[in-house]
């Protein structure tokens, strides 16, 4: 009997034949919060790209009304020096996305490299890198951030550096743990026995299998970077006027809470929605990538 | 095991040494001259004689490596120097601020443990219920609001607004600074007035970590609820509540203990935002202020304590693992 | 056997659960009785519904929905009584031994505490007396130095010891029925026999019946009184162990037997695997669920159009669900092996 007329083949579970990516997307799609997050992120990116078209005023374009509430002229009202809050929030999406993505990328690259090296080589290299993360974890993050920000000056780019240089610790530990367990697997041992170059084993063979938690972590990290930027702005070491950073706007709005609450409300809302979107998408990805938790 | 504990305790020394040394050099390379600051600074021109006397007094004319050695010599004898701004001894500043920080941190952690764990548990046991969905959204939102925004809102809603509109006295919370500063057993407010001052900053400081604890408890508990031994417990004829309490909880606790331990370690130093919003005179805001103002002795001295607290609490958390999970033998590193 | 001896009676049980891909009919119309003191074995491949059947008796899987049927335990339908009454049955009257003792025992409690907990729940013993009971039970299942062992944690036990401890836990309240779900699958071959001996020895000691769930016909042959074979959530054959092994009337049972090496094989008999693989329980084949893999199937015909009823095929309680059960009377494993297509055969022995 030839293999082709084994009828049981046709009754195999349909899921076995579907590629993983389709399955992940299918599970992700069913998570309503995650889809909502994804839609909001897409919207945010569109707003950032078309900010010039959307924003009715420039970021430093003063009007004659100060601290006015929302009106047909100024949808989100104006601030203490007469700037249009809506326009600044629209342009601010660029700042937030830029800082979020750039800082997360720096953190990912650092964390991946150090974590992979620590987990792969083990021994003294591992010990040194782990001690290094211990040292940096023990320093209150905000001290480090304020000090580094003071060092590089107060600007968007220094905020990116600060958050990138302080954000790699978690990723480093995750990658190290995955590499430690991956190292035991037979295909990695086989690749080593065959004398493949180390870099190729680490980044060609092991990294793809360690990616899932990193993707999830990275997604959520973009959101927390946006939050941290707000905190730095609040402490006065973030980007400076006239940069339309949301955190800066919130910090400005705090003193006008009783007579101009919109100054606090709208930029806070923008931060909240952005961070939430990344958290929801990250959570959705985690559930979709790891179906056994479902 | 004792040798493991000794090794871990000894490891605290290089960690703290490296952390503080790093900060020492970082602070010294910051732009801005501390001598100017001590002299009353700004951009005013100051008599060179005064500047020279200051440099000598604080040893600022020595090369940085010499200053570095001197710094550690003094620190080793727990002499943390004096503030560049008002010449107060850093040890004294430390005493005041750390007590305030510890009080606030203790209450924030109590809120985190009680609220975070119970909300997470209910959410896991009643998975997909309305309560669970609301919790998911609420905890996500909680960790997405900038802490200081939450602080402002609470301040406005429970302190500013009720005071403006003459609400009943018992409903008005206080804001800004410590209040009467009267405590029993070190951290229990001695009177209602003290509670009014404590409650808003404590809730604000606890918000993010409580949300995280709830999320983590839920996740960890869900994983445990699906475990084989939970089915065994059901097959024994235990009631659902007993199954969760006797067989689920302790297994689910390990990651949560880690989280709360780390939170306690970080919350002491990381309360900057909350302390700033409520003018709570704690370590975090004082450190941030000192760094920004280049008040190096205060920044280094207070940070030293925060780093020490963090590393010691971390050690205690690690040691507690062995109690929570008998499979863990101290000293044998497992790949986590 | 007299009717009064019936302990458990399962009638036309339908149970299933929802998955991403659709509804899984895990148990599809199963009926059987378990009598006092007997070893009743449920045999099938993984996914045949045998474990779900067992778990459903105790109501252990919350996601499984029972859509029809009765589970009558000593005159009460367990599906109709309240949760509290059902809970008392669990452990106290019907106890379960699980497949993998490493994951089925709680890692953070001592073995003694977990065994004693059974007596604390059902007999209200205090902590101290429960520990005494636990030590007794460990002794009964043949664990040396039971008093010391009771204070140890599951990870400090070997695999075989853990399964003995699991059995000790199950019998702590002298249940009338023990359900053992693949009790030896997770163990080393060398200790499997020991654990089975303990299980059967205990049965006589406390006078209980056993439902033994396994995919291993070898285990069944030595221990069971009666056997039920399941395929794709359905019963395909049920009878005494002799009837199943020597007068099988279902092609699936025959296939299983022919795929196994036997003690009386001289050495050069080939093993005949069943071609294909078990069907998905979401898309069960039409008619007889086994027809796509059946070498006797008449296609097109009854086999792929009508679902065969379980009916009496010989003796007074030998049931099979095959349209052509009668024609299988003369088919033995030997004929099956000798008539098989040579391409399908597996050589058993390297030395001809």
Return the bridge partners of C72, or none. Answer: C9, C77
Q: In chain B, which residue's Cα lies nearest the Cα of A282?
A: B140
Instruction: Identify the pLDDT of residue B75.
Output: 87
Transcribe C198-239 into DSSP letters: HHHHHHHHHT-EEEEEES-HHHHHHH-SEEEEEETTEEEEEE
Instruction: Identify the pLDDT of residue A17.
Output: 47
Q: In what order do the strands lie in the sheet with C65-73?
A: C22-35, C6-19, C65-73, C76-77
SS3 labels along C25-61: EEEEEEEEEEECCCEEEEECCCCCCHHHHHHHHHCCC
Compute how many other C-beta atoms are within 10 angstroms of the C-beta atom of residue A123. Answer: 8
Instruction: Identify the pLDDT of residue C352.
Output: 34
Give the lowest-confidence range in B133-137, B156-160, C13-17.
B156-160
Instruction: Identify the pLDDT of residue C9.
Output: 94
Using a CB–CB cut-off of 8 Å, the residues of B that contact C are 227-229, 231-239, 246-247, 250-251, 324-327
Instruction: Identify the pLDDT of residue A10.
Output: 35
- Segment holding C313, helix H or strand E: strand C311-314
Query: Is the per-residue pLDDT at A1 higher than 60?
Result: no
Instruction: Identify the pLDDT of residue A2.
Output: 37
C283 to chain B, any CB pair closer than 8 A? The answer is no
Q: In chain B, which residue's Cα lies nearest the Cα of A275?
A: B144
Q: In chain B, which residue's Cα lies nearest the Cα of A263?
A: B149
C168-178 average pLDDT score: 93
CA distances from B175 to B36, B160, C232 (A): 35, 8, 68
Nearest-5° Cα angle at B139, B133 to B141: 100
B315-336 average pLDDT score: 69
* Residue numbers in C near A7 (CB within 8 A): 276, 292-293
Enumerate residues 6+ apart whose C-beta is below 8 A from A248: A233, A238, A239, A240, A241
CA C105 – CA C163 distance, rounded (Å):
9
Place of tokens 């793809």: A208
Identify the band that residue B332 occupies on the pLDDT scale cut at 50, 70 and 90: low
Cis-peptide, bond into residue B213, ω within 30° of zero: no
Give the lowest-confidence range in A67-76, B94-103, C262-271.
C262-271
CA distances from A46 to A29, A98, A102, B68 (A): 21, 14, 18, 52
> Three-class SS of residue C180?
strand
CB-based contact A271 B160, cutoff 8 Å: no
CB-based contact A151 B18, cutoff 8 Å: no
CA distances from A39 to A241, B252, B295, C255 (A): 30, 34, 47, 55
CB-based contact A275 B276, cutoff 8 Å: no
Residues in chain B: 336
- Report the mean per-residue pLDDT for chain C: 87
Interface test with B, best of C55, C106, C116, C173 (most B CBs within 10 A): C106
Instruction: Identify the pLDDT of residue A27.
Output: 84
Enumerate residues 6+ apart whose C-beta is below 8 A from B268: B98, B101, B102, B105, B283, B284, B306, B309, B310
pLDDT in tens, A24-53: 888 888 888 899 999 999 999 999 999 888
* Residue numbers in C near B324 (CB within 8 A): 108
Instruction: Identify the pLDDT of residue C265.
Output: 62
Instruction: Identify the pLDDT of residue A153.
Output: 79
Instruction: Identify the pLDDT of residue A6.
Output: 34
Query: Is the per-residue pLDDT at C12 higher than 60?
Result: yes
CA B231 – CA B236 distance, rounded (Å):
9
C118 to chain B, any CB pair closer than 8 A? The answer is yes
Transcribe B29-52 into DSSP letters: HSSS-HHHHHTT-TT----HHHHH
Q: In chain A, which residue's Cα lies nearest the Cα of C283?
A: A11
B262-287 average pLDDT score: 83
Give the lowest-confidence range in A148-157, B271-280, C130-139, C321-330.
A148-157
Which residue among A1, A8, A9 sits closest to C343, beta carbon to beta carbon?
A1
Instruction: Identify the pLDDT of residue B269.
Output: 62
Instruction: Identify the pLDDT of residue A8.
Output: 35
CB-based contact B235 C60, cutoff 8 Å: yes
Question: For chain B, how big is the Rg over CA atoms in Å?
Answer: 24
Instruction: Residue window 237-276, chain B: list those with CB within 8 Å of chain A.
Output: 266, 269-270, 272-273, 276
pLDDT in tens, A96-146: 999 999 999 999 999 999 999 998 888 899 999 998 998 888 888 778 888
* Residue numbers in A near B22 (CB within 8 A): 135, 139
Share of chain A above pLDDT 70, in %: 92
Query: Is the per-residue pLDDT at A13 higher than 60?
Result: no
Compute how many other C-beta atoms are within 10 angstroms of the C-beta atom of residue C267. Answer: 9
Return the bridge partners of C211, or none. Answer: C40, C179
Share of chain A above pLDDT 90, in %: 22
Instruction: Identify the pLDDT of residue C120.
Output: 93
Identify the band that residue A281 occupies on the pLDDT scale cut at 50, 70 and 90: very high
Enumerate residues 6+ apart whose C-beta is below 8 A from C38: C209, C210, C225, C226
Which residue among C276, C280, C343 sits closest to A7, beta carbon to beta carbon?
C276
- Report the mean per-residue pLDDT for chain B: 83
A77-93 average pLDDT score: 86
- Between residues B146 and C330, which one has the greater pLDDT? B146
Residues in chain C: 352
Nearest to A35 by CA among A291, A293, A294, A277: A277
pLDDT in tens, C86-126: 999 998 899 999 988 889 999 999 999 999 999 999 999 99
Return the bridge partners of C320, or none. Answer: C237, C311
DSSP annotation of B245 reads I
Query: Is the per-residue pLDDT at A292 higher than 70?
Result: no
Query: Is the per-residue pLDDT at C1 higher than 50?
Result: no
CA A163 – CA A229 distance, rounded (Å):
8
pLDDT in tens, C246-299: 889 999 999 888 887 766 666 666 777 888 888 888 888 888 999 998 888 887
pLDDT in tens, A145-176: 888 877 787 888 888 988 898 889 888 988 99
CB-based contact C21 A7, cutoff 8 Å: no
Structure tokens at C16: 């299933």
Instruction: Identify the pLDDT of residue C269.
Output: 66
């Amino acid at each position: 009997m030839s293999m082709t007329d084994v009828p049981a083949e046709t009754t195999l579970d349909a899921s076995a034949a579907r590629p993983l990516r389709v399955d992940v997307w299918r599970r992700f799609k069913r998570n309503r919060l995650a889809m909502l997050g994804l839609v909001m992120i897409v919207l945010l990116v569109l707003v950032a790209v078309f900010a010039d078209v959307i924003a009715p005023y420039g970021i430093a374009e003063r009007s004659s009304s100060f601290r006015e509430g929302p009106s047909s002229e100024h949808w989100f009202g104006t601030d203490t020096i007469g700037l249009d809050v809506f326009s600044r929030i629209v342009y601010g999406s660029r700042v937030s996305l830029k800082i979020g993505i750039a800082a997360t990328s720096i953190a990912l690259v650092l964390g991946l490299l150090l974590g992979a090296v620590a987990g792969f080589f083990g021994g003294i290299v591992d010990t040194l890198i782990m001690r290094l993360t211990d040292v940096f974890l023990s320093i209150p993050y905000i001290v480090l951030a304020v000090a580094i920000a003071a060092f590089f000056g107060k600007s968007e780019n220094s905020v990116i550096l600060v958050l990138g240089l302080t954000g790699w610790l978690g990723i480093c530990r995750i990658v190290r743990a995955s590499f430690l367990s991956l190292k035991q697997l037979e295909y990695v041992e086989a690749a080593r026995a065959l004398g493949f170059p180390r870099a190729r084993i680490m980044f060609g063979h092991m990294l793809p299998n360690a990616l899932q938690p990193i993707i999830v972590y990275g997604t959520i990290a973009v959101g927390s970077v946006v939050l941290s930027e707000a905190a730095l702005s609040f402490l006065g070491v973030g980007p400076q006027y006239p940069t339309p950073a949301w955190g800066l706007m919130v910090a400005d709005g705090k003193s006008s809470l009783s007579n101009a609450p919109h100054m606090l409300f709208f930029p806070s809302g923008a931060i909240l929605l952005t961070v939430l979107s990344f958290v929801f998408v990250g959570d959705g990805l985690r559930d979709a990538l790891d179906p056994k938790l479902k | 095991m004792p040798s493991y504990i000794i090794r871990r305790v000894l490891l605290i020394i290089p960690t703290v040494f490296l952390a503080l040394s790093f900060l020492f050099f970082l602070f010294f390379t910051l732009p801005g001259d501390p001598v100017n600051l001590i002299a009353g600074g700004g951009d005013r021109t100051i008599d060179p004689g005064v500047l020279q006397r200051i440099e000598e007094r604080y040893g600022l004319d020595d090369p940085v490596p010499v200053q570095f050695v001197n710094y550690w010599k003094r620190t080793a004898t727990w002499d943390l120097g004096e503030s560049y701004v008002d010449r107060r001894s850093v040890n004294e500043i430390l005493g005041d601020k750390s007590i305030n920080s510890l009080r606030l941190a203790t209450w924030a952690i109590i809120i985190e443990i009680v609220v975070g764990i119970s909300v997470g548990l209910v959410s896991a046991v009643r998975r997909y219920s309305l309560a669970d969905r609301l919790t998911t959204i609420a905890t996500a939102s909680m960790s997405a609001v900038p802490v200081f925004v939450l602080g402002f809102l609470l301040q406005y809603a429970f302190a500013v607004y009720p005071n403006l509109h003459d609400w009943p006295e018992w409903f008005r919370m206080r804001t800004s600074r410590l209040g009467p500063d009267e405590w029993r057993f070190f951290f229990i407010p001695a009177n209602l007035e003290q509670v009014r001052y404590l409650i808003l900053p404590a809730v604000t400081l606890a918000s993010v970590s409580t949300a995280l604890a709830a999320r983590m408890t839920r996740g960890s508990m869900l994983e445990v609820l699906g475990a084989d031994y939970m089915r065994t417990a059901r097959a024994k004829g235990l009631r659902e509540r007993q199954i969760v309490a006797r067989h689920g909880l302790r297994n689910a606790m390990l990651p949560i203990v880690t989280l709360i331990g780390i939170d306690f370690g970080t919350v002491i130093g990381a309360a900057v935002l909350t302390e700033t919003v409520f003018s709570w005179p704690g370590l975090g805001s004082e450190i941030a202020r000192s760094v920004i103002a280049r008040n190096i002795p205060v920044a280094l001295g207070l940070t030293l304590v925060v780093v020490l607290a963090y590393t010691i609490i971390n050690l205690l958390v690690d040691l507690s693992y062995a109690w929570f999970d008998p499979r863990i033998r101290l000293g044998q590193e497992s790949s986590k | 056997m007299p009717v009064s001896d019936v302990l458990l009676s399962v009638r036309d049980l339908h149970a299933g659960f929802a998955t991403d891909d659709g509804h899984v009919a895990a148990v599809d119309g199963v009926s059987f009785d378990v009598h006092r003191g007997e070893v009743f074995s449920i045999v099938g491949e993984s996914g045949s519904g045998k474990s779900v059947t067992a778990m459903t008796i105790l109501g252990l899987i919350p996601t499984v929905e029972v859509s029809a049927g009765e589970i009558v335990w000593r005159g009460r339908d367990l599906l109709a009584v309240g949760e509290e009454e059902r809970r008392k049955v669990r452990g106290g009257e019907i106890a379960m031994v699980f497949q993998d003792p490493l994951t089925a025992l709680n890692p953070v409690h001592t073995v003694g505490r977990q065994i004693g907990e059974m007596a604390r729940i059902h007999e209200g013993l205090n902590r101290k007396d429960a520990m005494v009971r636990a030590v007794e039970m460990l002794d009964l299942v043949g664990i040396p130095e039971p008093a010391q062992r009771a204070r140890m944690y599951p990870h400090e036990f070997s695999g075989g010891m853990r399964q003995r401890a699991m059995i000790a836990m199950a019998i702590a309240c002298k249940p009338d029925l023990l359900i053992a779900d693949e009790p030896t699958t997770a163990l080393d071959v060398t200790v499997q026999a020991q654990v089975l001996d303990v299980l059967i020895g205990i049965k006589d000691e406390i006078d209980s019946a056993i439902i033994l769930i396994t995919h291993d016909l070898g285990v069944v042959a030595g221990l069971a009184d009666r056997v039920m074979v399941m395929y794709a959530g359905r019963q395909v054959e049920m009878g005494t162990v002799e009837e199943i092994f020597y007068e099988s009337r279902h092609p699936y049972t025959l296939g299983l037997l022919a795929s196994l090496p036997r003690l009386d094989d001289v050495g050069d008999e080939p093993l005949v695997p069943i071609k294909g693989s078990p069907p998905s329980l979401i898309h069960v084949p039409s008619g007889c669920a086994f027809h796509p893999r059946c070498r006797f199937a008449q296609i097109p015909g009854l086999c792929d159009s009508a679902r065969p009823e379980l009916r009496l095929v010989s003796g007074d309680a030998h049931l099979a669900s095959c349209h052509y059960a009668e024609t299988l009377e003369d088919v033995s494993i030997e004929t099956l092996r000798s008539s098989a297509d040579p391409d399908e055969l597996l050589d058993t022995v390297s030395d001809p």
